[in-house]
Amino acid sequence: MGYRDLLDMTDTVSVVTGGASGIGLETARALAACGSTIILLDQNEESLARAASALRAAGIAVGAAERLDVTQSAAVTAMADRLFEQFGAADVLVNSAGIARLNGGLETPDDEWRLVMDVNVNGTFWCCRAFGRHMIARGKGSIVNLGSMSGIIVNRPQTAPSYMASKGAVHQLTKALAAEWAKSGVRVNALAPGYVGTDMTLKMRERPELFNVWLDMTPMGRCGEPSEIAAAAVFLASAASSYITGSILSIDGGYTAW
């Protein structure tokens, strides 16, 4: 296979959770641009319908757009099995569904802690397990989890122990599954983005005491673009990274290099 062909995703199926907005939606666009048929999964039905319509209007092959709450283990398994019957085993799974809450350790209520862990950690594992089972049976597949630089360092000036702990867990889960499934032909890697210019992040410009510190602590002095994260997701999903598994790829403008 020539080098130009390594990113060719023609005749593949890619499942993207959290695919209705932000990094998930941009990753779906990037995978589709390389030839993959996209399956969007998201909890927000309105955003999901809007995203699927926009992608299809742009000529992108959206195989399905389905509502899914990743915190519900049985629902995740049922979805993976139903999509397997329709499309076969997914070639790629991108776990982009995630949430963040900015409360300090003493101010974080039990239900908030459980919710962040449930979405970010449990949801990632349920999806890895359900879709990974079909990948293993076929003998190939690539899973890309969305971790964070917050799983590597402690952010400042905001406090968010629930988010940081959850992303650290995603990184370790990624390594554990990568080691376990490597000989089955299934690769598992994670991205560790820094501050990315999604609507949610850019809204924080209303709080310059946070936003300006984030930029100052980033050597490149700017937020990342969703497309810059999506491009890395395509790399990890594709044959271009065929000897990479268990890796946590930092995409943070140099933030963790200080």
| Mean pLDDT, the chain, whole residue set | 97
What are the residue ranges spanned by the domains of the chain? 3-196+228-251
Catalytic residue among 163, 195, 243, 255: 163
Q: What is the SS3 assignment for 6? A: coil
Q: How far apart are CA 53 and CA 142, in angstroms?
A: 26
User: Rounded to 5 degrees, what are φ and ψ at 252?
Assistant: -135, 20
| pLDDT single digits (tens) 16-58 | 999 999 999 999 999 999 999 999 999 999 999 999 999 999 9
CA distance readout (Å), 131 to 73, 216, 224: 12, 40, 29
Q: Is the separation of the CB atoms in 55 and 28 below 8 Å? A: yes
| pLDDT single digits (tens) 58-88 | 999 999 999 999 999 999 999 999 999 999 9
Neighbouring C-beta atoms of residue 1, cutoff 10 Å = 9
| 163 belongs to the catalytic site | yes
Per-residue model confidence (pLDDT) at position 204: 86
Q: How far apart are CA 73 and CA 203, in angstroms?
A: 32
Quick one: CA dihedral 246, 77, 166, 160, positive or negative? Answer: positive
pTM of the model as a whole? 0.97
User: Rounded to 5 degrees, what are φ and ψ at 64?
Assistant: -165, 155
Q: Identity (one letter) of the amino acid at 12?
A: T
Burial of 206 (0-12, 13-18, 19+ CB in 10 A): exposed
User: Rounded to 5 degrees, what are φ and ψ at 241?
Assistant: -115, 35
Task: Quote the radius of gyration of the chain (alpha carbons, Å).
Answer: 17
| pLDDT single digits (tens) 47-64 | 999 999 999 999 999 999
Q: How far apart are CA 13 and CA 30, in angstroms?
A: 13
| pLDDT single digits (tens) 141-179 | 999 999 999 999 999 999 999 999 999 999 999 999 999
CATH architecture of the region 3-196+228-251: 3-Layer(aba) Sandwich (3.40)
Mean pLDDT, rounded, for 123-136: 98
Nearest residue to 233 (alpha-carbon basis) of 41, 89, 25, 87: 25
Q: What is the SS3 assignment for 177? A: helix
Would you mind telling me the total number of residues written for the chain in this entry? Answer: 258
Q: How far apart are CA 44 and CA 22, in angstroms?
A: 13
